Amino acid sequence: MKAGYVAAGACVLIWGANYSVAKRALQEIDPLAIAFTRAAAGVLFFGLFLLARRGWRGLPPGLLRAGTGSGSRRPRSREMC
């Protein structure tokens, strides 16, 4: 239970710092750019966190095959026409 309190406290501190930086940046940068950057940073952070915690085996099978989609397969004879 103690780890939960530490995580919640860290979340509050990080969110507070992020809010104050974003508020100042709104005067110079487009709001959508700030929102995209914050979302991308969150995805990157939590993705690395999950990867560190569970390893490659903890990822869903479809996510591991995402890079081998339609761009890597050869066209069928019907698709060549």
Per-residue b or e along 43-78, where b marks 16 or more CB atoms closer than 10 Å to that residue's CB: eeeeeeeeeeeeeeeeeeeeeeeeeeeeeeeeeeee
Domain that holds residue 7: 2-57
What confidence tens digit (pLDDT) does each residue in 25-56 have? 888 989 898 889 888 988 888 888 878 887 77
32 found inside a domain: yes
63 found inside a domain: no
Cα separation, 41 vs 54, in Å, equals 20
Domain count, the chain: 1
74 found inside a domain: no
59/43: higher pLDDT = 43
The whole model's pTM is what?
0.49
70 found inside a domain: no
40 found inside a domain: yes
66 found inside a domain: no
35 found inside a domain: yes
